A and B are shown apart, each in its own frame.
Chain A
Amino acid sequence: MSAPEAILELHHIEKSYAPKRWLSRGETLRAVDGVSLSVRKGETLGIVGESGCGKSTIGQIASLMLRPTGGSVVFKGEELVPGRRSPRDSRRSRIQYVFQDPYSSLNPRFTIGRLLEEPLAIRKKGTRRERRREVLRMLSRIGLDPAYADRYPHELSGGQRQRVGIARALMPSPELLVLDEPVSALDVSVQAQILNLLKDLQAERSLTYLFISHDLNVVHYMSDRVAVMYLGRIVELAEVGELYDGPLHPYTRALVDAIPDEPGTTPREAEIIEGELPDPRQLAGGCAFRARCPFAHERCGRQPLLEEVKPGHYVACHLLEPDRD
């Protein structure tokens, strides 16, 4: 599924955690199980899923912070070895990561100025004075007064801190940003400020975003294409409008049905799906959604593959397999 304009490709990524000796029942946890994904230059690819589905693991692998147990990460045609890294590796600075929690992801003992200068300083870019100028320019770009350069993170509100988190990721001039729940910790009125800022920055700097969130409305708003994950696998991937208006995988349908009605509109008659995510260590093989799926069938004992059912629309479900047999 690689397109010529792909900036980042993930090939058959796997990440499993071996059981620890103590207190474990000895099963391997497969956090990500064979995910292939191709991110196109300039787009926002959203990844949605419930907690434990592996969406953050994918983000960390894509930004080379975590080494997968299998598969490869290809950035602009060049294979990168995740996990084995040098901070000065210029390719690595092309992909940056924005954390969910703007409280714990900023060193409380650094001033904002130093936090922003650090990504340049460790790469020995420019003189001190030049770096300082860059920092001040960045601060005003993200909507903070340059005077904030001398303040500490605790003096900032949540929204201001998240601006700093985004600014820090932008300092090494990346081409791709991995945004892992960037607005989930913020108040609604501040969320909109940050989402607008991200949109503006993307347009100005031709950035590509990998946008990870559990919030279906936020992902809908931000993304061009959306991948839905369930227990370590992609179950559906399509252009955003097509996915939300005509979800094909039963799990995607359940998610879309669970979106609250828009305030002030007439409530829809939506089915609410029963059951919860099973323990990923105790999957019996086959489709992971089988236990909650209203259409489960014997065939579902086999793992369905992600297949293109319409141009650009991929689904992993036996119900939608073209009739071959």
Chain B
Amino acid sequence: MVGAKPSGGETVLEVRDLRLELSAKDGARLPVLEEVSLKVGRGEIVGIVGESGCGKSVLSLSVLGLLPPSIRVAGGGIYNGERKELHRLGEKSLQRIRGKEIAMIFQDPMTSLNPGMTVGKQVAEAIRLHTGASKREAEEKTVGLFRKVGLPRPETLYHEYPHRLSGGMRQRVMIAMAVSCQPDLLIADEPTTALDVTIQAQILKLMKTLREEDGTSILLISHDLGLISGVCDRIAVMYAGRIVEEGAAAEVLRHPAHPYTAGLLASLALPSKKGTRLHSIPGSVPALRERGPGCAFASRCPYAADRCLAEKPALRGVAGSAFPRSAACHLLGEEGGLANVGS
């Protein structure tokens, strides 16, 4: 959606200079995320786009304190709307935040639901746990939520087990559960990847509705730039553990400032490219151990200069843009940089 308010209002999540390290078996400390900063304002839909291994999922897990034991926060911090330091909270306090303040839905709705419990009960249980509602109240609320997320025959569906539901319906149940306690922030990690095209469109529409009706902020994580571009207010593009570009969705997509974003857009097999050769980014993402001192994209970048191999570019403001936006590229020099890269 273009025209949404630029951030500046109330913030529900702030990630600041976050650095995550993975302890490898041989004792090496490998940086999974470096200098990641991100803000999500109230009622905003922010997209994080990147290819596998870029760190987008681990970023979302770190917000909820769900990192695997091998990965730890090695710098920076994660703060909620009340400026609480989420990365320092213990398991008990995190449990109070998860689901109530920040809820999450995952890619695969089948493995996220308990197969031995009816879907209605699972949602009602979550409501009772967080709000202390009575059984009756929780049940009524669940049926209401099922209706809200567009599940057919909510009263009957309440008593169904997950295996009786299609993938799209299960994802709706997950969304109902996630929004049951009116969280400030909903994190959706590839919520439509496992679903069919027509169902994908339905789920994305539902996300927009949730934002419009309840003002829920959404952090939408996806590998599919084309898919989420229509839903997000802002987009952050990640590459090899860093945010390489960030700004208003329409701006980033129309005039990408970072060569990686430009390359990604150019490699999409869009209808307008029929009959032409697709642009492709040569090579593949460097593995964790292969990341050198320079820009991680340098080995695949058509514009890479000596400086790119030696020194990591910092994220900085892009001049001449209507909305605040930034990119991490040495080529974005003083003169305004590569405006038309990749087009």
- Minimal beta-carbon separation of B243 from chain A (angstroms): 17
* Assembled-state Cα–Cα distance A267/B51 (Å): 25
Tell me which residues across on chain B come within 8 A of A262, comparing CB atoms: 226, 270-272
- B200-229 interface mask toward A, CB cutoff 8 Å, 1 = contact, 0 = none? 111001000000000000000001111101
Check if B254 sits within 8 Å of A260, measured CB to CB.
no
For B250, list chain A residues within 8 Å (CB): 264
Task: Evaluate contact between A221 and B269: CB separation under 8 angstroms.
Answer: yes
Q: Contact at B169–A190, with CB atoms within 8 Å?
A: no
Interface size class, chain B: 35 or more
Contact B196 A272 (CB under 8 A): no
- The answer to whether A272 and B269 have CB atoms under 8 Å apart is no
Pick from A158, A190, A196 the residue with the most CB of B within 10 Å: A190
Our pick among A193, A240, A255, A277 for the contact of B280 (Cβ within 8 Å) is A193
Please tell me if the beta carbons of A50 and B197 are within 8 angstroms of each other in the complex.
yes
- Give the chain A neighbours of B277 by CB distance below 8 A: 196, 199
**Contact of B278 with A188 in the complex, beta carbons under 8 Å:** no
How many contacting A-B pairs (Cβ < 8 A)? Answer: 124
Residues of B within 8 A of A160 (CB): 284
A244-B271, A263-B229, A276-B166 known; A192 vs B281 contact (CB < 8 Å): yes
Q: Which of chain B's residues have a CB closer than 8 A to the CB of A167?
A: none
**Complex Cα–Cα for A240 and B274 (A):** 10
Chain A residues positioned under 8 Å from B268 (CB to CB)? 188, 192, 217, 263
A50–chain B nearest beta-carbon distance, Å:
4
Q: Pick from A158, A188, A258, A277: contact of B166, CB below 8 A.
A: A277
Cβ-defined contact, B226 with A192, below 8 A? no
A157 to chain B: which residues have CB within 8 Å?
A: 284
Please encode chain A, from 28 to 57, with 1 for each CB lying within 8 Å of some chain B CB and 0 for all others: 000000000000000000000011000000
From 236 to 262 in chain A, residues with beta carbon under 8 angstroms from any chain B beta carbon are 240-241, 244, 254-255, 257-262
Interface residues of B in 232-290 (CB under 8 A from A): 250, 253-254, 263-265, 267-274, 277-282, 284-285
- Determine whether the beta carbon of B272 is less than 8 Å from that of A272: no
Judge whether A191 is part of the interface by a CB distance below 8 angstroms: yes
List of A residues within 8 angstroms of B278 by Cβ: 192, 195-196, 221
Check: B168 CB closer than 8 A to any chain A CB.
yes
Give every chain A residue within 8 A of B269 (Cβ-Cβ): 191-192, 195, 215, 217-218, 220-222
A184 vs B242: C-alpha distance in the bound complex, in angstroms? 25
- Determine whether the beta carbon of A217 is less than 8 Å from that of B271: yes
The reply to whether B267 and A192 contact each other, CB–CB distance below 8 Å, is yes
- The smallest C-beta distance from B258 to any residue of chain A, in angstroms, reads 13
On chain A, which size bracket covers the interface? 35 or more
Is A24 interfacial (CB 8 A cutoff)? no
Nearest B residue to A197 by beta-carbon distance? Answer: B280
Q: Are A261 and B51 in contact (CB under 8 A)?
A: no
* Known contacts A216-B197, A217-B270, A264-B229; A189 and B263 CB within 8 A of each other: yes
Known: A189-B264, A196-B277. A260 touches B198 (CB 8 A): no
Bound-state Cα–Cα, A272 to B223, Å: 22
Contact A254:B198 (CB < 8 A) given known A220-B271, A263-B265, A276-B169: yes
User: Which chain A positions have C-beta within 8 A of B319?
Assistant: none
Contacts of B265 in A (CB 8 A): 263-264
Cα(A188)–Cα(B237), bound, Å: 13
In-complex Cβ contact of B229 among A187, A196, A222, A261 (8 A): A261
Q: In chain A between 204 and 218, which residues have their CB closer than 8 angstroms to a CB of chain B? A: 214-218
Q: Which residue of chain B has the shortest Cβ distance to A244 in the bound complex?
A: B271
Q: Name the A residues within 8 Å of B230 (CB-CB).
A: 260-261, 267
CB atoms of B267 and A255 under 8 A apart: no
Seed contacts A221-B269, A276-B169; 4 additional CB < 8 Å A-B pairs: A157-B284, A220-B271, A263-B268, A267-B230
Query: Which residues of A are interface residues toward B (Cβ below 8 A)?
Result: 50-51, 157-160, 187-193, 195-196, 199, 214-218, 220-222, 240-241, 244, 254-255, 257-264, 267, 270, 272-274, 276-277
The 10 closest A-B pairs by CB, nearest first: A192-B267, A192-B280, A50-B196, A263-B253, A221-B269, A264-B254, A264-B253, A187-B51, A189-B281, A192-B278
Task: Show 13 residue pairs from A and B whose CB-CB distance is below 8 angstroms, ordered by the A residue.
Answer: A187-B285, A192-B268, A193-B281, A199-B277, A217-B271, A221-B271, A221-B274, A241-B274, A258-B201, A259-B271, A262-B271, A273-B201, A276-B199
